[in-house]
Structure formats: C-alpha cells, structure tokens
C-alpha cells in the first residue's frame, strides 16, 4: 500500500501514521517530496485495507498495490483450473454449452428441452426451480418437484445439471438433485450463501453481480475458495448501465480480463446479458471470441409460452444453429494460440 499525505499534513500527523503502520508489524518507507510526502508499505499483509488508512488526518489517499484476492489469482496458480462435472471438463479444450429453460415448468418441458439441446451439442442442462423474481406475485418456480424433473431429464439425456440456489437453507436440497450449484447475480454478495457452498465438494457456478466490478466478482469467488471449495466457474451475464435498448450490457472485456487475472474457468450468459433472442447469437459469439470457455443459454421448446424470460429464450432450432457458429468462432480464436508467445493478449487456451 502507498499512503499519500496531504500537502498540508503536519509532522505529527505523519508520525501517527508511521506508528499505526508499525503497530501492524510492517515497515514504512517515507519519501519526502517537494509538494507531498509519501509513505510506502511494501510488505504483504492479508486483510490490511487502504480504507483503514484513508481516514486518518493528514492522509490524502491510500493506494493498494496488491490484488485483494489470493486463492483466485493467477499469482497463486498459473495454470488454468479445470472443473470436472460428470464427463465434462469446464475450462479445458472443449467449450461448455449449458442450455435449458429459465424455469422448469413441467416434466415434459424440461425433458423435451434436454433431448433437443443434447442433440445440438449441449453438455449440461440448466433449469430454475427456485426463482429469484423481482415481484412477489410472479411465478416463483416449482421448487423440489422441479429439481426432480430436472434431475430425471438430465439423467435420461445424459447431461449433468445445474440449478440456482437462492438461500443457505436450500443448499442441501438443491445439491441433492444437481451436479452444479448456481449462485445468481443478485446473490453474488450473499456472503452467507457463498460460505455455505464453499463448504461443499461440488462445482459452483458464480454469476457476476448486476453492478459488481471484476474485482468484487473475484472476491466473491475468494469467499467460496476460502472455505475450501476450489471448484468455482465464473459467469459474466451483463452489467447494468444507462442503456435501455438491451436488458443488460454484456461486458466482453471483463471476460478477457478475468481470464488474465484468475485461473478459474470463465463462461458467459448471453441470454440475460441481452434479453432479446435475436441478440443472443451475436453476443454469445462475441463472448467466445473474447475468451469465454463456455456459454449458458436459455432454450425453451416454445418461448412464446414460457412462464418467464420468453423474449430471451431460443428455440431448439435457433440454439442448434448458434452452437455451430459458436464452435467455428472458438476454433478461429484458438488457432492463434499456436503462434502465441510473450504478451497475454490472446490467451484463450
């Protein structure tokens, strides 16, 4: 950390800072400049935050120089992490396609979808049973019955399953039925939930919060990892901006940046990111081109009759076409890596 003193800071204020630094067992380095005095604290100390200095009298700013996440960082682990789900390796050479309806509505709906997306190349099945809805009057999902339908549909189609869990008390029941637990965007900083799933031994798919920075997203992964569960898959799903023409704004540079900063797999959800079926294809291709290692796509046998998220759901036919195109894009960006050398600008391995 670097502490920049105010132009008008007194010698006494400076001494109080130095005292505080030493209290933490660290060594301060003082540089007296023409206009300002600067104090460097170069030793590494877990949990010591710039905020704990920024408020002291005489301090203008306190600047961190180390990323606040440790276990999630490429500094901690250079090589890409592979998360194994059944026979699928997320983060590896092959793209992951997680597809299915926003909400599980019936046995037939999820089963029909499972077979269709499997035929198109999906290697995982998604479906919501506990839905976080903005309105208490909207359809909230089928609950455990939905999970049972999902598990059965996945088993019959030969697809591992993923479903969202929205509170710590549901973790046991959801984890009994599915292969991957999803933490939704609204719960990215539901720390009790993060800790709870951090104590499981199963993969966690962690969506980026609606207005979370990349750093906060990686800190949320760190919460899970700090409890012992290292099987975390990150999923970019669009952020909230002033633009209203799309549901959210897909942040493809965040995908590329996360690939640089962390060894965890990074995928994208173009359905929630755009909110419009006819933008899902282009957005999905874009995410893959930026380095995403998989996609999560909403597919419904008849989007017009979907109980939720119909407008952003693809038909199985549209999904089929999309997969083909996405695979070609993945291939296009991958070829480059053979020639790749010094700068990490195209690191979609």
Using CB under 8 A as the binding rule, the residues of this chain from 174 to 233 that contact a copy of itself are 186-187, 189-193, 195, 210-211, 213-216, 219, 222-223, 226
Q: What is the DSSP letter of 71?
A: T
**Interface with a copy of itself (CB under 8 A), residue from 107, 167, 171, 349:** 167
Identify the CA nearest to 308 among candidates 154, 164, 128: 128
Among 25, 79, 201, 304, which residue interacts with a copy of itself (rule: CB under 8 A)? 304
Position among 87, 137, 201, 338 found at the interface with a copy of itself (CB under 8 A): 137
Compute the distance between CA of residue 196 and CA of residue 75 in angstroms, rounded to an integer.
Answer: 26
CB of 158 to a copy of itself, least distance (A): 27
Residues 311-330 that bind a copy of itself (CB under 8 A): 311-313, 318, 321-322, 324-325, 328-329
Cβ-contact 211, 197 below 8 angstroms: no
Pairing label, strands 124-126, 161-164: parallel
The three-point CA angle 266-272-276 to 5° equals 130
How many CB atoms are closer than 10 A to CB 215? 13
Of positions 104, 125, 255, 264, contacts a copy of itself by CB under 8 A: 255
Helix axes 107-120, 316-334, angle to 10 degrees: 40
- Applying the rule CB under 8 A, the residues between 14 and 73 that interact with a copy of itself are 16, 29, 31-36, 38, 40, 42-44, 46-47, 49, 51-52, 54-57, 60-61, 63, 65-66, 68-69
Among 101, 146, 303, 316, binds a copy of itself (CB under 8 A): 303
Strands 232-236 and 266-268: parallel
Cβ partners under 8 Å of residue 220, min gap 6: 183, 188, 189, 194, 206, 209, 212
By CB under 8 A, is residue 293 in contact with a copy of itself?
A: no
Query: Quick check: 288 binds a copy of itself (CB under 8 A)?
Result: yes
Residue from the set 254, 267, 295, 299 that interacts with a copy of itself by CB under 8 A: 254
Query: Which of residues 286, 296, 297, 299 is near a copy of itself by CB under 8 A?
Result: 286
Q: Could you tell me the smallest distance in angstroms from the CB atom of residue 179 to a copy of itself?
A: 23
Three-state DSSP class for 13? helix
Q: Residues binding a copy of itself: what is the number (CB under 8 A)?
A: 127
Q: How far is the CB of 201 from a copy of itself (least distance, A)?
A: 19
* φ, ψ of residue 40 in degrees (nearest 5): -100, 135
Q: Which two tokens stand for residue 200?
A: 């499981």
133 belongs to the binding site for a copy of itself (CB under 8 A)? yes
Contact status: 127 vs a copy of itself (CB under 8 A): no
Provide, rounded to whole angstroms, the least separation between the CB of residue 137 and a copy of itself. 4
Residue 40 burial (10 A CB sphere; 0-12, 13-18, 19+): middle
CB atoms within 10 A of CB 178: 25
Q: Which of 151, 274, 294, 316 binds a copy of itself (CB under 8 A)?
A: 274
The one segment of 80-88, 109-117, 144-152, 269-277 that binds a copy of itself by CB under 8 A:
269-277
């Amino acid at each position: 950390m670097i502490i920049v003193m105010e132009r008008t800071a007194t010698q006494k204020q400076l001494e109080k800072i130095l005292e505080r630094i030493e209290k933490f067992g660290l060594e301060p380095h003082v540089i007296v400049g023409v206009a300002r005095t600067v104090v460097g604290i170069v030793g590494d100390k877990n949990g010591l935050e710039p905020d704990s200095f920024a408020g002291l009298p005489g301090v203008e700013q306190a600047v961190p120089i180390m990323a606040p996440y440790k276990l999630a960082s490429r500094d901690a682990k250079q090589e890409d992490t592979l998360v194994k789900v059944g026979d699928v390796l997320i983060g590896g050479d092959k793209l992951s396609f997680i597809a299915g309806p926003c909400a599980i509505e019936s046995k037939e709906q999820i089963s029909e979808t499972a077979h269709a997306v499997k035929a198109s190349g999906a290697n995982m099945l998604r479906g919501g049973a506990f839905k976080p809805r903005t309105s208490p009057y909207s359809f909230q999902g089928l609950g455990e019955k939905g999970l049972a339908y999902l598990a059965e549909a996945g088993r019959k189609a030969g697809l591992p399953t993923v479903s969202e869990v929205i509170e710590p008390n549901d973790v046991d029941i959801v984890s009994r039925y599915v292969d991957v637990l999803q933490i939704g965007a609204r719960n990215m900083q539901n720390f009790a939930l993060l800790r709870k799933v951090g104590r499981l031994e199963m993969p966690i798919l962690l969506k980026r919060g609606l207005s979370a920075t990349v750093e906060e997203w990686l800190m949320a992964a760190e919460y899970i990892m700090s409890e012992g569960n290292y099987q975390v898959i990150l999923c970019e799903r669009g952020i909230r901006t002033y633009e209203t023409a799309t549901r959210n704004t897909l942040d493809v540079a965040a995908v590329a940046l996360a690939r640089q900063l962390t060894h965890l797999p990074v995928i994208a959800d173009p359905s929630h990111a755009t909110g419009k079926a006819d933008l899902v294809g282009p957005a999905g291709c874009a995410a893959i081109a930026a380095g995403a290692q998989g996609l999560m796509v909403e597919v419904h046998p008849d989007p017009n009759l979907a109980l939720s998220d119909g407008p952003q759901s693809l038909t199985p036919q549209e999904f089929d076409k999309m997969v083909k195109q996405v695979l070609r894009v993945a291939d296009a960006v991958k070829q480059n890596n053979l020639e790749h050398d010094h700068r990490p600008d195209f690191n979609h391995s």
